[in-house]
Structure formats: structure tokens, C-alpha cells
Structure 1
Amino acid sequence: MSRTARLPRTYWVAGTAVLLALLFAAVATMAAAANSDDRPAVPVSGPPGLRSADAGFARDMAVHHQQAVEMSFIVRDRTRDEPVRTLAYDIANTQANQRGMLLGWLDLWGLPKVLADEPPMSWMGTPGGGHEGHGGHAAARPGGPLMPGMATKEELTRLDAIEGRDAEVLYLQLMTDHHEGGVAMAEGCAKLCATPAERALAQGMVDAQQSEIALMADMLRKRGAAPRG
């Protein structure tokens, strides 16, 4: 079965996630006035702006997560190794839900999901730039040149063409790169985003993906391989 035929399965949790996004956004509005972290409270003055860190992170990370979901469904069908299949399922499920939340926030804020003239990561203060992923691996995304940590089309094609241990190793290497890029993005939102619920989601991404990076390094060692860094 081709990767194209499998792709619709990556969206199976999106509807529930959008509903969760609406709930989180409502909570965020109430929590903004009582922000209890070390930063000054963020005044409630309406939804985030078109080019705010909140909106930029939501747009970029939704695209970033989509590739992680796609890679995870590819490897699930290319190996019978249960630890890898379980990890892939967990990543796909978690990131599809988070992607639904991010897109739901954009809908709630009345903001577009793609800006054609917005370079990726410009919300982090790098206009016109874009970041390469770990080890120099990156890929194009709608609205900008590069996204951090993303696999190239050639790497995805290769992953879809191999099986067994080879697929496991490449997936773990690609996902390590992907997570490292995602952690950098999420750390940016945790510092720059004004919506408390979005900052909390971003920090949760940092914690979870750093843990999974360590897990994947161990899984690679057991297969006689290592991250590509």
C-alpha cells in the first residue's frame, strides 16, 4: 500500500482535538489575567494578532507535526518491531491531537492557517531566514523556505521503500532530528507566546519530546546505530 493511500488515517483524531482547542482557548482567556509565572501578567486585549508569536507558532508547528504523524504511520507499516510500532503510534496520536488544538486556536482567533509571505520561524525574530534541522536536514513548507528538523522528500521516499531494521533505524534518526527541531520551536513559544494555554502546550512538547529523544537514542544503540548528529 502506498504512503498516499495511508495518509488519510493521519487525520482521525483531528475533530476531537479541535473541540479540545476551543476549551483550552477559553481557559486561556480567563487565565491570562492571573498569570502566575515569573513574567508580568498578559493583559486580555482580544485574540493574538496575525503575525504574533502565538499565531506563527500555531501555523509552523501544525505543519511540523503533520510530517511527524506521516512518518510514524509509514514506519508502522514497515516493521513488526513492537517497541518501534508503539513509539510511532504514541507520536502519531499525540501530535495529531496537538495539531488539532493548534489549528482550532487559529480558527477561534479568526486567523489563516497559512500565510504565503511568512517565512517559517519569523515569529521567533528571524524574518526571511528559516532554520535547518539537526544535521542540516530540512524541507520546504507552504509559506516559507525551511522548517527545522524536517525530513526531505527523498528521505520520506526512502523510509517508505525499506523495511525491518533499516526502516526502524532511519525512522528513529529522522524522528530524532524532527524532535530536536520541534523542541527549539516549542521553547520559543514557551518564552514568546502570550496565550497561557499555548505556552503550557509548548512546554509540554519540550518535556515530552526531550524524553522521547533520549528513548530513541537508546533504541538506536540497541540496533547498533546512533543519531545522525
Structure 2
Amino acid sequence: MIRRSGFRFAAFGALALLLLAMGAALRPVLPAGATAPAVLNEIEIGFVQDMVAHHGQALVLTQRLDADADPLVVGLARQIADSQRTELGMLLGWLRLAGAPVVNPRRMAWMPDAEQTHRHSGTETDRTMPGSASAAELDELSVARGTQAEIVFLRLMRRHHAGGVEMAAAADALLTGGEVDRSAREMVRTQGQEIGLMSLLLNRRGD
């Protein structure tokens, strides 16, 4: 029994040494004084943080649409909400991997200057995100009913999507590959398609 226990401990010890050796062999070798590359660069982090906030407002818009509105518009809102939630999970996962906060302390600072309004917050300057709805516009959507609710929702969401496309296109122009860049290009494509559908629905309502 003692001999078997000794063999067992010896085997465990040999396995532990083997695993340590494998780990050392698989660990990336960095030059002296070097640090591991960042998961995301500053532009990617800024874009992802701001797109999290942008997607968040899109969900608010879908939630405030009158549930008794045209089923086609309600269905579009549900489709948008589903896709935005899926993308939100991806965006938040990237920030978690990068060890970055969800909220951007310098909102929109990553994006090249465009015709956007600015406001000062303490010592920082925050840009208004393209396509964002104001509190008054959100309240208007909350109380609108029937056809008026459909028109207000489609107007606000179309503008919101146009802002998202502007942000994603800017990120694509600044980045040179990677998952964030590919995601930005996909946002331009899918949200552009939804903008076309919303324009068609607005035209049918004489808007």
C-alpha cells in the first residue's frame, strides 16, 4: 500500500512538471521590458463604448413605441431590438476583455471632427452622439398613438440609425482590420438596409 501511494505521488509530481513545461512552452515569449499587446486600441475602445450607449437608446426607442401600432412597424421595432441586444452583448464582451469601462469618459473623442454640437461637462468636452433623440422627443414617442406613433418612431429611429452608420463608417475609416472593424462595416450594411425600409414606411404614411 505504501509503495503504491509512493508511485501515485510520483506520478502526480511528474504530471505537474509536464504541465508546467507545456505552459512555459506555449506562453508567448516577449522581449525583456515589453508588455503584452492590448486587446483593443484607443479608437476601438472609444467606438465600442459610444456604440454601447447608442444601442442603449435604440432599445429605449423600441420600448416606447405604441404596442397597438401597425404590426409591420411593431415587427420592425422588435427586429431592431433583437439585433441591437445581440450586438450589445458582443460590444460589452469586448470591453470586458479589454478591461475597459462601459461608459466613455470622453464621449466621441475618438471620432474625427464633424458637424456635431458640443457641450462641456466639468473639464471634459462631450460631443452629442449622431442621431441621438432628446428627452422631449422620447416623451413625444411615449404618448403618441396609432399612425402618429408610427411616424414619430420611424423618424427617430431612422435618424438614430443614420447616426449609427456615421459612427460605424468613421470607425471603419480609422481602423485597419480586426473584429471591431468588421463589426463596424456590418453595422453600416445592416442599419443602412433598415434605413431604406423605414424611409419606405414613412413614404407610405405621407411623411
Output the TM-score relative to the length of structure 2.
Answer: 0.74
**Structure 2 counterparts to residues 148-159 of structure 1, below 5 A:** 148-159=130-141
Displacement after TM superposition at 1:73 (Å): 1.7
Task: Note closer, same or farther for the CA distance 1:57–1:96 as it changes in structure 2 (3 Å cut).
Answer: same
Q: TM-score, normalised by structure 1?
A: 0.68
Partner of 1:148: helix, strand, or coil?
coil
Q: Say whether residues 1:146 and 2:128 are aligned partners.
A: yes
Among 95, 101, 104, the alignment partner of 1:106 is 95
The root-mean-square deviation of aligned C-alpha atoms, in Å, is: 2.6
Cα shift at 1:46 = 2.8
Displacement, 1:194? 5.2
Contact 2:45 2:95 (C-alpha < 8 Å) held by counterparts: yes
Stretches of structure 1 lacking an aligned partner (at least 5 in a row)? 1-43, 133-137
After superposition, residues 19-58 of structure 1 pair within 5 angstroms as: 45-49=37-41, 52-58=42-48
Which AA in structure 1 matches 2:80? Answer: I
Instruction: Give the total of aligned pairs.
Output: 170
Aligned equivalents of 2:133, 2:55: Cα separation in 1: 12
Other-structure match for 1:123: 110
Deviations 1:195-221 (A, max 9, x none): 611111111110011111111111001
Q: Which has the larger radius of gyration?
A: 2
Q: Which moved more, 1:194-203 or 1:151-160?
A: 194-203
Conservation of the 8 A alpha-carbon contact between 2:112 and 2:170: no
Identity of aligned residues (%): 36
Q: 1:48: how far off?
A: 2.2
- Which of 157, 160, 172 aligns to 2:142? It is 160
Find the residue that maps to 2:65 and give its secondary structure.
helix
Secondary structure of the corresponding residue to residue 96 of structure 1:
helix
Off by >4 Å, runs of 4+ in structure 1: 138-141
Candidates 39, 45, 59, aligned match of 1:69: 59
Q: Take 2:120 and 2:76, find their aligned partners in 1: how far apart are those partners? A: 26
Query: Which residue of 195, 198, 204 corresponds with 1:213?
Result: 195
